[in-house]
Structure 1
């Protein structure tokens, strides 16, 4: 049950530093942007669902 609410990987995904050894192209940057956007939308929707359930 402890690992069920572990959002540390999601939080560190948003705030990690760029690797200087890895060459970034448009496809890689767009993929990471879409991943961040989808995770953010999921967390906002989860917050809204919990808020509506409580109130």
Structure 2
């Protein structure tokens, strides 16, 4: 029972899976449109900026 709780605590879920999926190369067999590519590009930029700001905040906090 405790092992199941441990696994469920660290599951990424839909949002976590999206963060991983947005950085993968698109499937060449799937049809993609311009709007979808731009949305994923903007999401990549925002994730990277968030992680950068989090690192800067942690460094300032620890020093």
Normalising by structure 1, what TM-score? 0.70
Superposed CA RMSD: 2.4
Structure 1 position 38 matched with structure 2 position 38: no
- Tell me, yes or no, if structure 1 residue 48 matches structure 2 residue 56: yes
Cα shift at 1:11: 5.3
Count of matched residue pairs: 50
| Higher RCO (Cα < 8 Å, 6 or more apart) | 1
Question: Is the aligned partner of 1:19 residue 2:24?
Answer: no
CA distance in 2, matches of 1:46, 1:24: 32
| Distance in structure 1 (CA, Å) of the matches to 2:60 and 2:31 | 44
- Structure 1: which 5+ residue stretches go unaligned? none
Question: What TM-score, normalized to structure 2?
Answer: 0.62
Query: What's the CA shift for 1:51?
Result: 0.4
